[in-house]
Structure 1
Amino acid sequence: MIVPPAPVRCLGVDPGSLACGWAVVERFGSRLALLEAGVVRNPRGADFDQRALRIHERLTEAIATHAPGFMAVESPFVEKNAATALKLGQIRGGILLTAALHRLPVGDYNPMQVKKAVSGYGWAAKEQVGKMVMTLLNLKDPLPADAADAAAVAIGHLLASRRA
């Protein structure tokens, strides 16, 4: 008797303090499916600790609802503005803490790795990656850009872990 493989779920996250994209993608054999995705939008005037808290709370809700086995987080490109880089690092730290609190292993991927995994080309344009996300997940309508980026991170992780 052949037992089919169990589905594998990944919570992908595209960090940002004002707009943090997230997506839960499931792999069942060679099929990929989007379970849920969204963007945590924080107002510019909000206190930074409250921004981090809102992101933590929304990711915690997604984890409770979908029980992913992994979290995949996009690592930042080299930021020229030190203050922006510091804030993004703090948001990423909060996201990694959320994963640790839920005992989720974390995959860390740079933008080129994500683009290559999804489109086959590490220098692919953002639009090309968005279209590939739609194709791979069989979506009729595009996701918001930050959610599409998060879905791409999750897809990249699921495809990389399949090869491992």
Structure 2
Amino acid sequence: MAPQLSPQPTANRNHREKQDIAMLHRLASAFAISAEGFDSVAADFWNWQSPADFARLSIERQRATSELRSIARRSGPPPQAAKMWLAGHLRNWLAVRAALSSGNGDSVKREVRRAERFFLERCEAAHERMPATANREVVRRHTGSIRRLLKAIGEG
């Protein structure tokens, strides 16, 4: 008799995703992310087409989650750069997910580049107004995150 696969890995992944969604919901509320934007991203976690799609962004998602937890632990109101960092990641997850679901490699590239341009333009505008070196560092780190995201899906 052939051994049966255990459903445990899927159950663990679903549990992690529920925890991540709860954390993102708290951060989105704290950072005043729009309800529509958050709902799209929350739905995103539940709609991966295959384990391979999920794995493509798994490392980047872990990095982003770690960074978001770090931002959440900081005392005082989050800096504008951190708000934009979170919004940029949420937008990128959504754009990449939409492109992956289409199954079209050109669509993946187009959607991610559009999200990248949108975020970088906002970062550049905010960067000019930022007196604090720490805020500039948050922006610098995020631009690197976008580039890692592009590499993760083979478009960078």
Using the size of structure 2 for normalisation, the TM-score is 0.27
- Structure with a larger share of its residues in strand: 1
- Structure with a larger share of its residues in helix: 2
Using the size of structure 1 for normalisation, the TM-score is 0.26
Specify which structure has the bigger relative contact order, considering alpha-carbon pairs within 8 angstroms and separated by 6 or more residues. Answer: 1
Larger Rg over CA atoms: 2
